[in-house]
Amino acid sequence: MLKESIAIASMLMSSVAVSQADDEANRSKTSADWRSEKPFTVGAELGWFVFPISGAGARIGYNLNPNLNVGFRFAAGEWDASPLVSEGIYTTIDTFTLDASIVEVDAKWFVGNSFYWRVGLGQRQINSDISVTDQYDGTNITATLESTSSAVSIGLGNIWTLDSGLYLGGEWIAASIPLGSSFSSSVTSNAITDEDLRDLVEDMEEVSEDFGTVTTFGLATFLIGYQF
């Protein structure tokens, strides 16, 4: 009986020791180790991906090795742009919004444990919805403006992976550099008789078109996801 008790106690102690060793091994693993063991990534992002337009996005990826992750990314958001233009004496800006979206394939090169550089290629689209009213004669203009660009994006950030597979991080700064762009507009009005109103719409068109041809920046985008 004593021998059996000793044997059982020894087995329990061995199991505990093995469990503790496994836990210790997991605790000592770095984010780079987890990228090697768990190649698939699915995540979300939230921040200013086309500053000052903020929004949310998603990304799926695959770790080719601990230092290289390739993926597909989508992000979209909206911003009230009415402060960018001035109203006339009798002119009211009912709506002037900018909404942006980015669809791209990208790659993240990890330097060390968590820091990465990102390079992407895809499409950036910035649209405007406009509604302007002349309070004097009731003239109303509505317009939809679309600016589409093929663009290269670059960014840098950090991603830390926990033992559970959850990862947290941030892309601290990014840039979207247009390679080429196109612009289209659709304007509807019951009548345009006011020069100030016409000039205001032209100003809005210029703002929207300019957004499509300039380099835009991302700032402080929060990243969260799961690695498996």
Q: How many domains does the chain have?
A: 1
> Measuring CA to CA, which residue among 53, 103, 108 is closest to residue 75?
103
CATH number assigned to the domain comprising residue 135: 2.40.160.20
> Measuring CA to CA, which residue among 124, 120, 123, 149 is closest to residue 61?
120
Distance of alpha carbon 174 from alpha carbon 209, whole angstroms? 21
Find the domain containing 142 and state its range. 2-227
- The CB-side HSE value for 221 (13 A sphere, CA atoms) comes to 31
pLDDT of residue 197: 61
Q: pLDDT digits over 86-110, tens only?
A: 666 667 778 888 899 999 999 999 9
Distance of alpha carbon 226 from alpha carbon 30, whole angstroms? 15
Q: Which amino acid is at 18?
A: V
> In the chain, which residues have pLDDT < 50?
2, 5, 8-9, 12-13, 16-21, 25
